[in-house]
Amino acid sequence: MAVDPLIELRDVNKYYGDLHVLRDIDLTVGKGEVVVIVGPSGSGKSTLCRTINRLETVESGTVALDGRPLPEEGRALARLRAEVGMVFQSFNLFAHRTVLQNVSLAQVKVRGRKKGEAERRSRELLDRVGLAAHADKYPAQLSGGQQQRVAIARALAMDPKALLFDEPTSALDPEMINEVLEVMRQLAREGMTMVVVTHEMGFARSAAHRVVFMADGRIVEDRTPEEFFTNPHSDRAKDFLSKILKH
């Protein structure tokens, strides 16, 4: 896909003490591209996600967003970070705020929107994720799948240039997984740039432009889903696929 790069990691290395968790990572995600990251537990997928918006520092290499290197810290970093939304396995909603407030808060605090304007935008987004009728409920009154869709609406409310998902459906009961994946598929169709760590291979096949396979902190394969699933090159990927496609 010949597109403008939006996220660019060059030669990124990261350590936790002696543990070398990201090794010489080179990754470019183009505008509108959907990249699914897969790999065994501990291979560095979450760390890579967190590195993209500098929730983690790196020992060497560069991370750039839309052509600008991510600053080390300070307000410039906060501004750039707000351009990349993140959705985690645990939804991290504020328990004592309504759904509408959860989606509106950061719009007011970070984006400086007026309360009424933020709430209007929140209702639009809640409608988009199929939760218009639940705006005044509290998170505990929603199912896991509904809570995760609120978290997606909240991320979208910041008008991000890209969204990162770290195992967004792993904590959900099976019957709720699809409603979340469907929202993500819709975003992909609308051209949202997305980096998605997931074990949902159906989603990878149907929505991803590329599958990135990681093992031991390295990117071992970076190919189209079709190529990756039908003809993995590395033994690590073959082994991984045989395990996850079996269960």
Ligand X SMILES: Nc1ncnc2c1ncn2[C@@H]1O[C@H](COP(=O)(O)OP(=O)(O)OP(=O)(O)O)[C@@H](O)[C@H]1O
Helices (H), the chain: 45-52, 74-81, 99-109, 115-128, 144-156, 174-189, 201-207, 225-230, 235-246
Query: Phi first, then psi: what are they for 170, rounded to 5°?
Result: -70, -25
Give least dist CB 47 to ligand X, A.
3
x-marked contacts with ligand X along 30-59 as a string, rule CB under 6 A: ---------x-xxxxxxx------------
The partner in contact with residue 41, picked from ligand X, Mg ion, none with C-beta cut-offs of 5 to 8 angstroms by kind, is: ligand X
Which CB sits closer to Mg ion, 35 or 103? Answer: 35
- The residue with its CB nearest to Mg ion is 46
The partner in contact with residue 198, picked from Mg ion, ligand X, none with C-beta cut-offs of 5 to 8 angstroms by kind, is: none
- Residue 67, class by beta-carbon neighbours within 10 Å (0-12 exposed, 13-18 middle, 19+ buried)? exposed
Which CB sits closer to ligand X, 43 or 104? Answer: 43
Give least dist CB 46 to Mg ion, A.
3
- Restricting to residues 191-220, name those near Mg ion by CB under 5 A: none
| Residue found by looking up tokens 């996850």 in the block | 244
Give least dist CB 217 to ligand X, A.
7
Which CB sits closer to ligand X, 100 or 172? Answer: 172
Using CA atoms, how far apart are residues 168 and 217, in angstroms rounded to an integer? 21
Residues in Cβ contact with 143 at an 8 Å cutoff, skipping those fewer than 6 apart: 176
| Residue found by looking up tokens 């979340």 in the block | 180
Give least dist CB 218 to ligand X, A.
12
| Closest by CA position to 203, among listed 224, 178, 221, 223 | 178
Give least dist CB 118 to ligand X, A.
33
- Restricting to residues 18-57, name those near Mg ion by CB under 5 A: 46
Which CB sits closer to Mg ion, 153 or 155? Answer: 155
Q: What angle do CA 87, 91, 95 make, to 5 degrees?
A: 140
Other C-beta atoms closer than 10 Å to the C-beta of 124 total: 14
**Rounded to 5, what percent of the chain is helix, strand, coil?**
40, 25, 35
Number of residues this chain uses to bind ligand X (CB under 6 A): 11
Give least dist CB 166 to ligand X, A.
7
Q: Which residues are near Mg ion by CB under 5 A?
A: 46
Contacting positions for ligand X (CB under 6 A): 16, 19, 21, 39, 41-47
